[in-house]
Amino acid sequence: MKRQAIIKIITIVGYAIFVLVSFLKGFSPGKQIGLNFFSFVAAMLKVLPFAFILIGLFEVWVKKETVEKHLGEGSSIMCYFWMILLASSTVGGLYVAFPIAYALYNKGAKLSVIFTYIGAAAIARIPMAIFEASFMGIKFTIIRLITSIPLVIIAAILLGDYLTKKNYKIKCDPQKTV
């Protein structure tokens, strides 16, 4: 077994023992850590399976030519609008956004579009904006979105262009065929 695998196993077993002992001995911080972990796992299990099913359907149903036409190298400036719209409706945060971004990359989307999607998924999701507006106010949320979305697009274009000039490629699994 590799050293990294052994370290991962020791960490997981150590965590499980810590949580178990915390429950047996009544150690409140340890109990809360365990409860938070199980709450997080339950929330992810409600979202991730369905998201991965939709990503799989995207892989099968959407033609590579369609993605290349609308989000690839020859696409118009509208591709950034489409990515912000897609990212704002993404449920599950970056846990779902990264697999979607990878699927888009495999279908021929340019890097700047993918970076726009990831950035917008981190800052412009509708549920997050509603939650933020309820605490900070709608004016704050609108100002934040109006200033942050163009910055995400600009940064994505600059980073995408830089990496494209350097012939950057995302490492893909050689067993996978798209």
Q: What is the pLDDT of residue 134?
A: 94
Q: What is the pLDDT of residue 172?
A: 66
Measured in degrees and rounded to the nearest 5, phi and psi for residue 75 equal: -80, 160
- 30 band by pLDDT with thresholds 50, 70 and 90: very high
Q: What is the pLDDT of residue 176?
A: 56
Query: What is the reported pTM?
Result: 0.77
Q: Is 17 exposed, middle or buried (0-12, 13-18, 19+ CB in 10 A)?
A: exposed
Q: Report whether pLDDT(111) > 90.
A: yes
Q: What is the pLDDT of residue 165?
A: 92
Q: Is 27 exposed, middle or buried (0-12, 13-18, 19+ CB in 10 A)?
A: middle
For the chain, which residues make up each domain, given as ranges?
Answer: 1-49, 62-178
Q: Is 12 exposed, middle or buried (0-12, 13-18, 19+ CB in 10 A)?
A: exposed
Dist CA 49 CA 58 (whole Å): 14
Q: What is the pLDDT of residue 178?
A: 46
Dist CA 91 CA 128 (whole Å): 10
Q: Report whether pLDDT(18) > 80.
A: yes
Measured in degrees and rounded to the nearest 5, phi and psi for residue 139 equal: -60, -45
Nearest to 149 by CA among 160, 137, 157, 139: 157
Q: What's the mean per-residue pLDDT of the chain?
A: 90
* Extended strands (E) in 24-76: none
Q: What is the pLDDT of residue 175?
A: 57
